[in-house]
A and B are shown apart, each in its own frame.
Chain A
Amino acid sequence: NAGVTQTPKFRVLKTGQSMTLLCAQDMNHEYMYWYRQDPGMGLRLIHYSVGEGTTAKGEVPDGYNVSRLKKQNFLLGLESAAPSQTSVYFCASSYGLAGAYEQFFGPGTRLTVL
């Protein structure tokens, strides 16, 4: 099993450009999450999904959109990138509720917005 994979691994954008980050998991997990990690701030939840076709806002959703059209994929979109969105983005998945079940993380995408 590959676990949780993310593409791309690195990306540099100019302000105002758009892009989509792809997350895929092969563990048949219902729950999927997108986090961003900034120095000294741990991980902050952007959006999450509790099943195919459902999404919900996390702690810092502004400027991002998500879609879960297939159970194994969770896409994170930036419509108009801003320098404040420079960060490392992690996708995670779990079998059940956060805290009760282990979250499995991908290797991350390092995004720089100039």
Chain B
Amino acid sequence: TQLLEQSPQFLSIQEGENLTVYCNSSSVFSSLQWYRQEPGEGPVLLVTVVTGGEVKKLKRLTFQFGDARKDSSLHITAAQPGDTGLYLCAVTLGGNAGNMLTFGGGTRLMVKP
């Protein structure tokens, strides 16, 4: 069983549609990050959330950290083909594990023109 469960695993939509992807766990996290990875490249950080209930916006992307700091969602408004990629959430548990990021399995998004 993975620490982080991301859903859905795959999502194929048309340009202009809205979508939400999720990152869930039963554990509490000190922080959570979202990364996007394009084919043939390494992941690139989109956002870091640290406070329960926090909402951050990055252009058409809205990130929310759950009140209990156990889950997060990423909502994309009016998706564009450039949003295509693998979306990964990653967490640190803090304490002795504070130097390590644990990643979810990712949501692979394809936006068709």
Chain B interface size band reads 20 to 34
A contact residues, range: 20 to 34
Q: What 0/1 pattern do residues 18 to 45 of B give for CB contact below 8 A with A?
A: 0000000000001111000000111111
B9 touches A100 (CB 8 A): no
Contact of B98 among A90, A92, A97, A107 (CB under 8 A): A97
Q: Which of A12-20, A41-49, A76-84 contacts its partner?
A: A41-49
Asked if B14 CB lies within 8 Å of chain A CBs, one says no
> Which A residues are in CB contact (< 8 Å) with B33?
99, 102
**Could you give 28 example pairs across A and B, Cβ below 8 Å?**
A31-B99, A35-B103, A40-B9, A41-B105, A42-B90, A45-B100, A45-B102, A48-B100, A59-B100, A59-B102, A90-B42, A97-B98, A98-B98, A99-B33, A99-B91, A99-B101, A100-B48, A102-B33, A102-B45, A103-B101, A105-B42, A105-B43, A105-B44, A106-B42, A107-B40, A107-B41, A108-B40, A108-B41
Q: Does B88 contact A (CB under 8 A)?
A: yes
Contacts of B100 in A (CB 8 A): 45, 48, 58-59, 98
Query: Is there contact, CB below 8 Å, between A99 and B40?
Result: no
Taking a contact as CB atoms under 8 Å apart, the answer to whether B104 and A42 are in contact is yes
Q: Are B88 and A43 in contact (CB under 8 A)?
A: yes
Q: Hey, which chain A residues are within 8 Å of B30, CB to CB? A: 99
Cβ contacts under 8 Å, B106 to chain A: 40, 42
Most buried by B among A35, A44, A97, A107: A97
From the candidates A31, A41, A92, A99, name the one contacting B42 in the complex (CB within 8 A): A92
Interface string of A45-58 (1 = CB under 8 A from B): 10010100000101
Least CB separation from A57: chain B residue: B100
A4 on the B face (CB < 8 A)? yes
**What's the least CB distance linking A77 to chain B, in Å?**
20
| Chain A residues whose C-beta falls within 8 Å of the C-beta of B45 in the assembled complex | 102-103
